[in-house]
Amino acid sequence: NPSDVKAALGQMPYAVWPRTPGRDFAGVVVEGPSALVGQEVWGSGGELGIRRDGTHASHVVLDAASVRPKPSSLSMAEAAGIGVPFVTAIDGYRRAGAPGPGDAVLICGLNGKVGQAAAQLASLRGARVIGVVRRDEPYVGHASGPVEVIDASSGDAAARIRDLTGGRGVDLVFNTVGSPYFELAHRSLAVQGRQIIIATIEKI
């Protein structure tokens, strides 16, 4: 999880160090309620690896309510990588209104982990997905439909997005970067569009 690295580098001022990092996890329950012992589980936690020791260890103690059965279709590695990125993307859509067929969604920071999760979820629901990246690069995540990529370094990205949408703009912006893309996102929105902002790189 990228936030593990940021915390270790001192870029998350509320992280308490020294500590074992790790926010997301997948594993087998070895001790606890009988219904869970031996079960493959997965999950994530806001405090894990930030204010208490995390999951980059051989064992971790968790509340039973913090684990969920791991889908058999996912490997341990896949399940362990889903946590914070997908929880963040799902929560953003829950608060702002999930996109659906006919909606155009712009994702700023497309190739970050939350950006990839947001693109995957939006395309799964049938929305048109447009993503902004910092340099000329393709989309590296998964999707259930095409993902149109805009290189922010190649000119007026907001104007290109409005051209792609016939001048209307997008219904929803998922801004995973914050302040550097706020103006671009604002100029790309349709009337009564909404913007989800989950982070910023500027001190407040």
User: What's the distance, Cα to Cα, between the start and end of the chain in Å?
Assistant: 24
Q: What percent of the chain has pLDDT over 70?
A: 98
pLDDT in tens, 119-178: 999 999 999 999 999 999 999 999 999 999 999 999 999 999 999 999 999 999 999 998
pLDDT in tens, 101-133: 999 999 999 999 999 999 999 999 999 999 999
Q: Which residues of 8-46 are buried (b: 16+ CB within 10 A; e: fewer)?
A: eeeebeebeeebebbbbbbbebeeeeeeeeeebbbbbbe
202 pLDDT tier (thresholds 50, 70, 90): low
- Number of neighbours of residue 200 by Cβ within 10 angstroms: 14
Structure tokens at 138: 């393709």
* pTM given for the model: 0.83
